[in-house]
Structure 1
């Protein structure tokens, strides 16, 4: 009798253990646990950069078993259209990795949600370009900034503009605001004055007259292959992105670099060059997915991840912390750090973005010999006033 009672107690205990074990909360990443969150990323990277991104995704998945990351390449020329079509149907990715221009388009389409992860380690200008109405809709990941390069075998470090235009002069890939911004605004150039359009400001006219004179004297050369001419020793000075330093070093070109503001006694701010941002979708950023999106974005925005993409491509990290690392204390990085730290801060919805395009067109017409600086900038002023008026109307 006693043995039967003991057996029944033993049987009940076993059943209790089984039931309790089955009802305990499963652990993420463990057999029987909840399925990992799937984070889909659309990007426009190719070649070695795409491979480096894939490598970072594998590391994220290994370190965070609660997420699975899927990468999908979308051609840059179709990125905004594909994204709009997908979200219109309730589909699309959780995260976009794209250029500043594409992210601005996505914002205009209502395709983006405010950032899921907050990162204050980006350079101020890079952070601002993805901010609309004081709300951040993307975070800067990789960027670039124009610098002045000189050949150390044929030129000395210029101390001012006069030294720059001695000898064979300067070559630039394009005479636009992005390339010459530090030089232009360091001499008083501006797009707006007290909230009003000022493309025909006297300082703008004087700057364009100066460009035109140097162009006529053949000491300012505008050539899309300017970097190649510099590499071949055909020109002692060139303005190019800080990202070009890697290419020059690989070709054993003897080069040095300085921020453009050094030619103007420290005055002048450069407009940042090509910048990639990380944004999250307005459709897919749901409460259930927000933590997974934050996990992936936080991992991508580390100096280590940005450094891996730098090694694979050419764009520089937009994270200030990277420039404190030992490997960033030499070569182009100190100059790039200085230029990025004082770069021209423009928010994503700043009217200056539209005015820059109008000013660039005016500069092109003058340097092509189609108009005088005064006439062309007066015409640009009229165009700009209309563009701003249309934008401000409800």
Structure 2
């Protein structure tokens, strides 16, 4: 009887041990990054940003590391000079980062070298034109993080009624100040006036519309209707000039000049035709060779955390750029005037996919406009860059 009793006890103990083992196995134990759990997955990020943009980015990395113990973001900064070649060299040796964050131009060069794969992040929250910037062959190879659009700021203590249009300002002898007359800043105006980069797949930088627009801007400068110099902001601050053409990311600095400041989208001022070109966009991409199945979840988490509206709002607060995600502009029950005007601009921004050759033509045209601003002949500059664009097009077609 004692032997049978011991056997029953042993069986019961064995059942208890098995039950505990099963339960422990089902619970999975501590999660990665937690005490007793596996080490967190390290996601290496290379970036080429600096100043306020870099500080905004580092703040987000610290937040992600704090809120998600299962991942650890390890960031490394490199200058834009040599950045593309560095990525190429490391990937050739099977090394390098999982995620790359840089300006549009840098990411375009990295894509052309075949060093990034389709982005893992869900990009549906991005405005269509912001998403399009990094679409190549119908696939998104990066997610837009921050971008920028020009706005017209005005002094409400000098201008009692918001301007109806750019034409209205000019006809009433109004004066607009700007610290620069770059094509990035003028892009909505240029597009509204029929500006073009190509027609039927052929470069059209020397088009009559481009010539007419550049001559018009130069004419306004000569007439004193458009004042372009490095004292523009001071003149706006003193109320000497009531209108200021500047980027949306300048809003907080401009508001600090005068509390009597408001803004309006160029899209509205140009008869719903002023579509900004999102050339000043920072993107987030993932490496071709480091995007492997066991890393995809961690990479996606970091990318999507960066493009959330909360993350981008914090970046904007650091005057780093404008959020590319629509939630920031639409989620608020009562969006601010600034949010509304930027939202209108981004919703109606010029749609240009990354794979379009027009981006190369745009850079040529922007360079020509810089030379024109420095005194070069407009027609000659447009002919020069048209010839360069044709050569680019011929090389691509081969």
Q: Same fold by TM-score, threshold 0.5 exceeded?
A: yes
* 1:78, distance to aligned residue in structure 2 (A): 4.3
Which residue does the alignment assign to 2:154? 150
**Distance in 1 separating the partners of 2:237 and 2:86:** 39
Question: Is 1:269 matched up with 2:288?
Answer: no
**Distance in 2 separating the partners of 1:159 and 1:377:** 32
Question: Is 1:287 matched up with 2:293?
Answer: yes
Unaligned runs of 5+ in 1: none
**Distance in 2 separating the partners of 1:324 and 1:20:** 51
For the 8 Å contact 2:104–2:279, the answer to whether it is kept is no
Find the residue that maps to 1:181 and give its secondary structure: helix
* 1:168, distance to aligned residue in structure 2 (A): 6.2
* 1:147, distance to aligned residue in structure 2 (A): 1.0
Question: Is 1:199 matched up with 2:200?
Answer: no
Which residue does the alignment assign to 2:318? 312
Which is worse superposed, 269-278 or 21-30?
21-30
Question: Is 1:184 matched up with 2:185?
Answer: no
Which residue does the alignment assign to 2:10? 10
For the 8 Å contact 1:212–1:366, the answer to whether it is kept is no
**Distance in 1 separating the partners of 2:226 and 2:57:** 39
Which residue does the alignment assign to 2:128? 124
Unaligned runs of 5+ in 2: none
Quick one: structure 1 residues 36 and 169, their matched pair in 2 at CA, closer, same or farther if it must change by over 3 Å? Answer: same
Find the residue that maps to 2:336 and give its secondary structure: coil
Find the residue that maps to 1:326 and give its secondary structure: coil
Quick one: structure 1 residues 159 and 168, their matched pair in 2 at CA, closer, same or farther if it must change by over 3 Å? Answer: closer
For the 8 Å contact 2:176–2:227, the answer to whether it is kept is yes
Find the residue that maps to 1:243 and give its secondary structure: helix
Find the residue that maps to 1:369 and give its secondary structure: coil
Which residue does the alignment assign to 2:236? 230
For the 8 Å contact 2:250–2:319, the answer to whether it is kept is no
**Distance in 2 separating the partners of 1:358 and 1:47:** 27
* 1:139, distance to aligned residue in structure 2 (A): 0.5
Quick one: structure 1 residues 224 and 110, their matched pair in 2 at CA, closer, same or farther if it must change by over 3 Å? Answer: farther
Which is worse superposed, 107-116 or 68-77?
68-77
**Distance in 1 separating the partners of 2:321 and 2:147:** 5
**Distance in 2 separating the partners of 1:385 and 1:275:** 26
Q: Which of the numbers 82, 95, 98 marks the counterpart of 1:94?
A: 98
Which is worse superposed, 51-60 or 281-290?
51-60
For the 8 Å contact 2:197–2:361, the answer to whether it is kept is yes
Q: Which of the numbers 335, 342, 358 marks the counterpart of 1:336?
A: 342
* 1:21, distance to aligned residue in structure 2 (A): 3.4
* 1:256, distance to aligned residue in structure 2 (A): 1.7
1:1-394 matches, within 5 Å, as 2=2, 6=6, 9-10=9-10, 13=13, 17=17, 21=21, 24=25, 26-27=28-29, 28-29=31-32, 31-46=35-50, 49-155=53-159, 157-165=162-170, 166-167=172-173, 169-224=175-230, 226-326=232-332, 329-371=335-377, 373-393=378-398
Q: Under a length normalisation based on structure 2, what TM-score does the superposition of the two structures give?
A: 0.87
